[in-house]
C-alpha cells in the first residue's frame, strides 16, 4: 500500500469529507472514480445527467455520493463542492454542441474558482494539455493553458497536470491513430507528422491523479506528465502498425495540407468528430515533450513505454474490457417534443412509424438481441443501408456510424451506439435511442418489450422524427418509407433469430399516448 493511501486511511477527517470529481462520466473521470473508491476515499461525483451516473458499475458503491450539477451553473456547482476536501476538475467543452468552447471553458473555470473558495476546500486537481514553449499555440492548447491559469488564480491551491497525448483503450487520440493506421496503408499527412510527442499510458495518468490528492509537494504546482518515450508521430504510428500485425505504413508528407483539411480527413475516416479532430490535428504543429518530469520523483511509479502500452491496449480491446470511451463524454439532450404533454401538438408535427411483432420467446431472450444492436454486431438487416446512411452523415458533418459501441453486448445510459446514443434503458422492457446524426430534424427510436401469454413476447419499434423547417419536411418524405421498411425487416430478423419455426408477420399500428410517454412509464416502473 502506498504512503498516500495509508495517510488517507489514518486521517479521521477523510471519511467525513468526500472528494469531488467533476466530469465523472467522461473518459478520464469514469476511470478515476473507481480507483479513488478502491483506495478508500469517499467520492462525490457531479454530472449533468443522473441517468448516466446511475448506469456506471460503481454507481451503487457505499462510499459514493452522486449529485446533479453543471460547471456552467454556479449555484449547482457551489452545492456540489460544499463539504468536500478536494475537487478534481476534469471537464472541457470541446464537443459538437459547443460553438465557442474557449469562452465556455473560461466561464466554467471561473465558476470553479469561486465555488472552491466559498466552500473552503483544500485543493483543486486539474488535468490539462502539455503546453509547449513555442509561439502561435493552437486555440485548444491556449484554452487548456488559460483554464490552468484561472484555476491557479484563486485562493485554493490548484495542481495542474499537463499531458501530451494520453494512450488508452477508448481515448480519442488512440482511436484516431488506430483507425487511420488500420484503414489507410498510405497516409497523406502535413509536415507536422515529423514533430515529437511524449505519450503517456492512461493507467499512469490515473496514478498521478490519485497521488496528487495527498502529496503536499505537488500542491499548487504545474507538472508535465509523460511516458518514457519521445517519438515522432510517424514513429508512433509505425509502432502501432507493428504491434497490430500490419505492414509498415507509407507516409506522403505534403506541406500544403492544412490542419483544417487534415481534420476533415480524420472526420471522414475515423469515428472522431470534426470538432475534436481539428484540435488534435492542429496539435501536430508543435513538439509536445516534457520539459522536466520532476513529478515522477514525487509520485514514483513504473511508466510504461509506448510499445508496451499499445500492446496492452490491443489486448484489452481483444478481451472486450473497455472501461470508458471518449464517446462517453457529452450531454444527452432529449428532444423537447418527446415529453408527451399535448397529443395534438405531437401528432400534428412528429412523424411516427410504429410496428410490432409477437415472438415465440421469453422477453429476456429477445432483449439479449436488442441490446446487441449496432457496432460490429450490425443491425440484423440492411447493414449496407446503415453504412450508407453513416457515410452520408459523415459527409454532412455528423458523427457517422464508425464510432460503434463501447462493449459488444452491454449497454448503459449515455453509451454511443453508431450515430445513436442510449437515452433510457430498462432491462428486458425498453430501450430508447436518440439520434445524433446530422439531419434537418430530431429522431428517436424506441424498442418496447412486453410479455404476451406465457411463452411469447410482443416487440414494438416506434421511430419518431421531428422535422425542422421546409428542408426537414421534405427530408421526412423520403425518410418515412425507409424507416417503415427497416423497422419491419428488423422485427422479422429478430423474430427469426429467436424462433425460426414460429414466425408471425409484423404489423403497423397507431401508438397510444401511454406508449409514447416514456417518462411516465419510468415513474411507474
pLDDT of residue 293: 66
Order of all β-strands in the sheet with 43-47: 64-68, 43-47, 19-22, 86-89, 123-129, 158-163, 222-225
Q: What are phi and psi of 15, to 5 degrees?
A: -75, -15
Instruction: Identify which of 140-149, 202-211, 440-449, 465-474 has the greatest average pLDDT.
Output: 202-211
List, in order of start, the domains of the chain with CATH numbers: 3-328 (3.40.50.720), 336-524 (3.30.530.20)
The residue with cell 416506434 is: 462
CB neighbours of residue 143 within 10 Å: 24
pLDDT tens sequence across 44-84: 999 887 877 877 888 889 999 999 999 999 999 999 999 99
Task: Give the model's confidence band at 4: pLDDT under 50 very low, under 70 low, under 90 confident, else very high.
Answer: very low
Query: How many whole angstroms separate alpha carbon 144 and alpha carbon 164?
Result: 12
pLDDT of residue 343: 38
Asked if residue 194 lies in contact with residue 232, where contact means CB atoms within 8 angstroms, the answer is yes
The residue with cell 414460429 is: 502
Asked if residue 276 lies in contact with residue 98, where contact means CB atoms within 8 angstroms, the answer is no
Three cell numbers at 453? 401469454
pLDDT of residue 113: 96
Query: How many whole angstroms separate alpha carbon 175 and alpha carbon 154?
Result: 36
Beta bridge partners of 68: 47
The residue with cell 460490429 is: 376
What is the SS3 assignment for 151?
helix
- The 3-state secondary structure of 379-432 reads CCCCHHHHHHHHHHHHHCCCCCCCCCECCCCCCCCCCEECCEEEEEEECCCEEE
pLDDT of residue 326: 65
Query: How many whole angstroms separate alpha carbon 231 and alpha carbon 147?
Result: 27
Spell out the long-range contacts of 336-340 with Cβ–Cβ below 8 A and sequence spacing 24 or more.
Answer: 337/442, 337/466, 338/444, 338/464, 338/516, 338/518, 339/517, 339/519, 340/513, 340/516, 340/517, 340/520
pLDDT tens sequence across 137-160: 777 888 889 999 999 999 999 999
The residue with cell 492542429 is: 282
What is the SS3 assignment for 74?
helix
**Mean pLDDT of all residues in 276-281:** 71
Buried b vs exposed e over 256-278: b needs ≥16 C-beta within 10 Å?
ebebeebbbbbbebbbbbbbbbb
Asked if residue 45 lies in contact with residue 31, where contact means CB atoms within 8 angstroms, the answer is no
Return the higher-pLDDT residue of 266 and 474. 474
CA distances from 57 to 34, 64, 313, 413 (A): 9, 12, 21, 12
pLDDT tens sequence across 221-264: 999 999 999 999 999 999 999 999 999 999 888 877 776 777 77
**Quick one: angle between helices 363-370 and 469-498, nearest 10?**
130
Query: What radius of gyration do the chain's Cα atoms show?
Result: 24
Asked if residue 267 lies in contact with residue 277, where contact means CB atoms within 8 angstroms, the answer is yes
Spell out the long-range contacts of 377-380 with Cβ–Cβ below 8 A and sequence spacing 24 or more.
Answer: 377/408, 379/486, 379/490, 380/490, 380/493, 380/494, 380/497
Amino acid at each position: 500500500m502506498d504512503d498516500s493511501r495509508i495517510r488517507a486511511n489514518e486521517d479521521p477527517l477523510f471519511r467525513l469529507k468526500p472528494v469531488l470529481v467533476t466530469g465523472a462520466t467522461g473518459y478520464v473521470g469514469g476511470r478515476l472514480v473507481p480507483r479513488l473508491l478502491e483506495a478508500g476515499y469517499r467520492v462525490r461525483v457531479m454530472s449533468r445527467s443522473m441517468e448516466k451516473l446511475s448506469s456506471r458499475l460503481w454507481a451503487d458503491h457505499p462510499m459514493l455520493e452522486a449529485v446533479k450539477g453543471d460547471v456552467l451553473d454556479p449555484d449547482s456547482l457551489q452545492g456540489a463542492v460544499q463539504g468536500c476536501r478536494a475537487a478534481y476538475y476534469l471537464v472541457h467543452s470541446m464537443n459538437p454542441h459547443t460553438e465557442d468552447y474557449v469562452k465556455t471553458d473560461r466561464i466554467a473555470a471561473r465558476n470553479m474558482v469561486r465555488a472552491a473558495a466559498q466552500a473552503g476546500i483544500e485543493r483543486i486537481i486539474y488535468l490539462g494539455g502539455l503546453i509547449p514553449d513555442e509561439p502561435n499555440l493552437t486555440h485548444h492548447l491556449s484554452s487548456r493553458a488559460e483554464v490552468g491559469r484561472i484555476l491557479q488564480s484563486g485562493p485554493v491551491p490548484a495542481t495542474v497536470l499537463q499531458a501530451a497525448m494520453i494512450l488508452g483503450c477508448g481515448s480519442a487520440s488512440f482511436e484516431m491513430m488506430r483507425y487511420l493506421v488500420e484503414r489507410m496503408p498510405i497516409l497523406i499527412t502535413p509536415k507536422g507528422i515529423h514533430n515529437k510527442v511524449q505519450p503517456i499510458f492512461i493507467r499512469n495518468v490515473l496514478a498521478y491523479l490519485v497521488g496528487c490528492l495527498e502529496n503536499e509537494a505537488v500542491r499548487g504546482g504545474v507538472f508535465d506528465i509523460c511516458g518514457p518515450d519521445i517519438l515522432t508521430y510517424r514513429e508512433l504510428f509505425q509502432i502501432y502498425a507493428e504491434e497490430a500485425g500490419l505492414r509498415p505504413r507509407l507516409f506522403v508528407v505534403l506541406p500544403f495540407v492544412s490542419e483544417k483539411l487534415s481534420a476533415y480527413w480524420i472526420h471522414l475516416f475515423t469515428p472522431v468528430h470534426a470538432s475534436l479532430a481539428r484540435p488534435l490535428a492542429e496539435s501536430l504543429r508543435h513538439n509536445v515533450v516534457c520539459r522536466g518530469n520532476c513529478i515522477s520523483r514525487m509520485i514514483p511509479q513504473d511508466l510504461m513505454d509506448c510499445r508496451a502500452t499499445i500492446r496492452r491496449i490491443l489486448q484489452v480491446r481483444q478481451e472486450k474490457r473497455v472501461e470508458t470511451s471518449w464517446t462517453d463524454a457529452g450531454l444527452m439532450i432529449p428532444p423537447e417534443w418527446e415529453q408527451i404533454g399535448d397529443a395534438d401538438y405531437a401528432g400534428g408535427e412528429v412523424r411516427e412509424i410504429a410496428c410490432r411483432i409477437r415472438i415465440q420467446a421469453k422477453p429476456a431472450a429477445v432483449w439479449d438481441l436488442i441490446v446487441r444492436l449496432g457496432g460490429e454486431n450490425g443491425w440484423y438487416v440492411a447493414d449496407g443501408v446503415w453504412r450508407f446512411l453513416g457515410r452520408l452523415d459523415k459527409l454532412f458533418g455528423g458523427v457517422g456510424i464508425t464510432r460503434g459501441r463501447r462493449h459488444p453486448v452491454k449497454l448503459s445510459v449515455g453509451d454511443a451506439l453508431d450515430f445513436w446514443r442510449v437515452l433510457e434503458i430498462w432491462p428486458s422492457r425498453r430501450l430508447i435511442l436518440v439520434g445524433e446524426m446530422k439531419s434537418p430534424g430530431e429522431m428517436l427510436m424506441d424498442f418496447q418489450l412486453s410479455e404476451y401469454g406465457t411463452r411469447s413476447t410482443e416487440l414494438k419499434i416506434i421511430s419518431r422524427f421531428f422535422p425542422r423547417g421546409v428542408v426537414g419536411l421534405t427530408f421526412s418524405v423520403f425518410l418515412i418509407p425507409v424507416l417503415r421498411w427497416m423497422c419491419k425487416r428488423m422485427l422479422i430478423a429478430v423474430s427469426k433469430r429467436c424462433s425460426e419455426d414460429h414466425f408471425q408477420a409484423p404489423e403497423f399500428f397507431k401508438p397510444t399516448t401511454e406508449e409514447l410517454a416514456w417518462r411516465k412509464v419510468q415513474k411507474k416502473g
